[in-house]
């Protein structure tokens, strides 16, 4: 087992645990992590995921030893790295809690999540050119969307690392916290998300993602239809009546 999974108060925490390999991402990690996400994504009692690393490392990259001797034919036949795209199909929100290095595949996995919390000592980078390849898990695309063309070109073509202060300023990271507060901050946010109506949370996430996929006219129209649709839920009635009655809502996910 290369991941540890915990479920508490609506939040599933997935910890990458390959300390001897600096949490390098191989196919086994991919299968375990994506299987756990798919399994818990279907459960109505799960309101948020937190993905993190162990030993002050998120993931120092993909496992180079697994792919170094592969041929082009083997890479193409297996569509190597394609399995990671399952992370992007998860409907429940995912917070990446980055405690240290998130390089190469580690940075790409963090960017697949919906938001990134990082420690003050965290470092991000796409150094694939230093070993004769390019990002292969979506790094060139997601990094460009998050930080813009100029910053992405700088990061990818030089292979330099970006500290958490720069990452927050560039829009890659949403929160930077002291090292010892990372999981407390991530879990507080995750529990807050999990306390809300899951149908509304799932649609809110979809609306934000649609802003990148569609024209403004189409995405606004889609948002409005989803808003209308939530009036078919019990949670909408509970939430609005609780507001009128000045009490805390009791959402059930229905």
Question: How high is the pLDDT of residue 34?
Answer: 98
Dist. CA 183–CA 98, nearest whole Å: 9
Place 36 in a pLDDT band, splitting at 50, 70 and 90: very high
Catalytic residues: 62, 105, 108, 128
Domain that holds residue 220: 197-245
251 part of a folded domain: no
Domain of residue 219, CATH code: 1.10.12.10
86 part of a folded domain: yes
Burial 38-66 (b: 16+ CB within 10 A, else e): eebbeeeebbbbbbbbbeebbbbbbbeee
Query: 46-80: per-residue pLDDT in tens?
Result: 999 999 999 899 999 999 999 999 999 999 999 99
Place 232 in a pLDDT band, splitting at 50, 70 and 90: very high
253 part of a folded domain: no
Residue 79 and residue 146 share a domain: yes
- Of 159, 179, 194, the last residue of a domain is 194
Residue 222 and residue 206 share a domain: yes
Residue 207 and residue 184 share a domain: no
Residue 136 and residue 44 share a domain: yes
Residue 232 and residue 106 share a domain: no
Residue 145 and residue 69 share a domain: yes
Mean pLDDT of 149-167: 98
Q: Which helix (H) or strand (E) holds 57?
A: strand 57-59
Could you tell me which residues come within 8 angstroms of residue 65 by beta carbon, excluding any fewer than 6 positions away? none
- Structural domain total, the chain: 2
Residue 175 and residue 134 share a domain: yes
Domain of residue 44, CATH code: 3.90.226.10
Residue 217 and residue 180 share a domain: no
206 part of a folded domain: yes
Edge-to-edge order in the sheet of strand 11-16: 3-8, 11-16, 48-53, 94-98, 115-119, 175-177
């Amino acid at each position: 087992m290369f991941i540890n999974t915990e479920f508490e108060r609506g939040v599933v925490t997935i910890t990458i645990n390959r300390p001897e390999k600096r949490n390098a991402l191989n196919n086994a990690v991919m299968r375990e992590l994506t299987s756990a996400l798919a399994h818990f994504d279907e459960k109505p009692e799960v309101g948020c995921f937190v993905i993190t690393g162990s030993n002050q490392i998120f993931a120092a990259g993909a496992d180079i030893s697994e792919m170094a001797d592969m041929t082009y034919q083997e890479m193409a036949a297996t569509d190597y790295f394609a399995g990671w795209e399952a992370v992007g199909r998860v409907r429940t929100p995912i917070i990446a809690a980055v405690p240290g290095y998130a390089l190469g595949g580690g940075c790409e996995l963090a960017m697949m999540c919906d938001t990134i919390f990082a420690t003050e000592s965290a470092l991000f980078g796409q150094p694939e050119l230093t070993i004769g390849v390019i990002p292969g898990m979506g790094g060139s695309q997601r990094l460009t969307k998050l930080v813009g063309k100029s910053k992405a070109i700088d990061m990818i073509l030089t292979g330099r690392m970006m500290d958490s202060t720069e990452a927050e300023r560039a829009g890659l990271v949403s929160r930077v916290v002291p090292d010892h507060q990372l999981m407390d901050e991530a879990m507080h946010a995750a529990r807050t998300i999990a306390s809300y109506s899951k149908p509304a949370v799932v649609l809110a996430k979809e609306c934000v993602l649609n802003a990148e996929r569609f024209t403004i006219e189409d995405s606004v129209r889609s948002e409005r239809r989803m808003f209308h649709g939530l009036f078919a839920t019990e949670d909408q009635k509970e939430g609005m009546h609780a507001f009128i009655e000045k009490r805390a809502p009791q959402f059930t996910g229905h």
